């Protein structure tokens, strides 16, 4: 008798390990609770930076005309962690970075960047638009699975000057483990707004820093009249953590104008939300649990979104199972396997910390 119209159930990931198991969980829960009673948490949606991304895109008209293939060269989503698997080795062995971070957090960020403006701020209006992004993700082919997805596993290295162990030496981890602690991939959203624009996603444990950010690289000027025109001069960086804020990168006239040399220098406009709004803002989980109590579903994931994300991720899992190569090693404290830079270079781009 506890399940009344006001009852809510909160589900925390992992919700399944593939499409079939996710569907069976959703089906099972759906037999008892209606969709509007079910709150599937993705704590990345509760991060203040993600809500600010919605505010930036749908509360301001400034960027909207630029937010498309004609003006954007590529988009990079990075979720880097310094932490290893800590004491969760046994759990992580059955999960890996693709299931742990890409299927949910990274794809939700990609939806927030790529979605069309919703018709209003109601939960289903937002979730309908996110679902359309997931449905538009370019299907994998044998070739793209090979070239555009990289898995890695950390070896021993140093974080902040201290030596750290390899993944295979962590508690609860098989010494011959093939589990990936790093994934980088390239995809596209096949629709009118984004056709042809590469979206790069990268996430991993024991990387060079704790750093989650989305970088929007705008196209260069069509014609250069200054001596020192720099490739990707215009860039919007949405910092999720450890900083929370926006950076707009522009070119300005440099200091040395004695020679009238038209030398341009990169400058950065910073909007630091921590400074502007203070550190006391509620954290992601607090925010989401408050939303549960108050019955707001906007920042929760609907079953069809989740299933679509699994459908897109599943060919990667299947490909890896059959691929004898296994994850590429990388030293703890670096930015992952070197193949990650080679992948982005194929499109003529580089990761934002490289250029």
Question: Given the rule CB under 6 A, which residues bind ligand BG6?
Answer: 81, 100, 212
Question: With contact defined as beta carbons under 8 Å apart, do 219 and 73 qualify?
Answer: yes
Residue nearest to ligand BG6 (CB): 100
CB 127, min distance to ligand BG6, A: 20
- Alpha-carbon distance of 214 to 240, in angstroms, equals 8
Using only C-alpha atoms, the chain has a radius of gyration, in whole angstroms, of 21
- Alpha-carbon distance of 239 to 49, in angstroms, equals 7
With respect to ligand BG6, which residue has the nearer C-beta, 105 or 127?
A: 105
- Alpha-carbon distance of 163 to 158, in angstroms, equals 4
φ/ψ of residue 38, rounded to 5 = -105, 125
With respect to ligand BG6, which residue has the nearer C-beta, 281 or 346?
A: 281
- Alpha-carbon distance of 301 to 116, in angstroms, equals 17
CB 239, min distance to ligand BG6, A: 13
With respect to ligand BG6, which residue has the nearer C-beta, 335 or 349?
A: 335
Within 10 angstroms of residue 268's Cβ, the number of other Cβ atoms is: 11
With respect to ligand BG6, which residue has the nearer C-beta, 100 or 180?
A: 100
Tokens of 145: 């699975």
Catalytic residues: 105
CB 260, min distance to ligand BG6, A: 48
CB 68, min distance to ligand BG6, A: 29
- Alpha-carbon distance of 166 to 157, in angstroms, equals 7
CB 98, min distance to ligand BG6, A: 12
With respect to ligand BG6, which residue has the nearer C-beta, 164 or 212?
A: 212
Question: With contact defined as beta carbons under 8 Å apart, do 101 and 240 qualify?
Answer: no
Tokens of 177: 């483990």
The DSSP element (H or E) to which 202 belongs, if any, is: strand 199-204
């Amino acid at each position: 008798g506890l399940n009344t119209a006001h009852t809510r159930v909160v589900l925390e990931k992992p919700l399944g390990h593939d499409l079939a198991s996710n569907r069976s969980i959703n089906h099972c829960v759906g037999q008892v609770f209606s969709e509007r009673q079910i709150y599937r948490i993705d704590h990345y949606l509760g991060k203040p930076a993600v809500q600010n991304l919605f505010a930036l895109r749908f509360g301001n008209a400034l960027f909207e005309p630029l937010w498309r293939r004609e003006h954007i060269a590529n988009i990079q989503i990075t979720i880097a962690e310094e932490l290893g698997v800590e004491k969760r080795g046994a759990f992580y062995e059955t999960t890996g970075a693709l299931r742990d971070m890409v299927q949910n957090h990274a794809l939700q960020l990609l939806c927030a960047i790529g979605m069309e403006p919703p018709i209003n701020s109601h939960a289903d209006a937002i979730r309908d638009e996110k679902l359309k992004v997931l449905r538009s993700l370019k299907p994998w082919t044998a070739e793209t699975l090979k070239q555009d997805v990289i898995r890695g596993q950390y070896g021993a290295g140093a974080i902040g000057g201290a030596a750290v162990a390899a993944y295979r030496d962590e508690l609860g981890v098989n010494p011959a483990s093939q589990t990936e602690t790093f994934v980088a991939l390239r995809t596209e959203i096949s629709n009118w707004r984004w056709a042809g624009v590469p979206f790069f996603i990268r996430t991993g444990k024991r990387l060079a820093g704790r750093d989650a950010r989305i970088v929007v690289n705008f196209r260069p000027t069509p014609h250069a009249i200054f001596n020192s025109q720099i490739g990707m001069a215009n860039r919007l960086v949405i910092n999720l953590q450890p900083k929370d804020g926006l950076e707009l990168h522009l070119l300005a006239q440099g200091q040395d104008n004695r020679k009238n040399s038209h030398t341009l220098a990169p400058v950065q406009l910073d909007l630091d939300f921590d400074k502007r709004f203070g550190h006391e803002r509620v954290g992601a989980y607090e925010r989401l649990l408050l939303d549960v109590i108050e019955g707001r579903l906007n920042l929760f994931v609907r079953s069809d979104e989740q299933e679509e994300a699994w459908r897109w991720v599943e060919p990667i899992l299947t490909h890896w199972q059959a691929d004898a190569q296994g994850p590429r090693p990388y030293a703890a404290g670096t930015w992952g396997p070197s193949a990650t830079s080679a992948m982005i270079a194929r499109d003529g781009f580089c990761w934002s910390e490289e250029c």
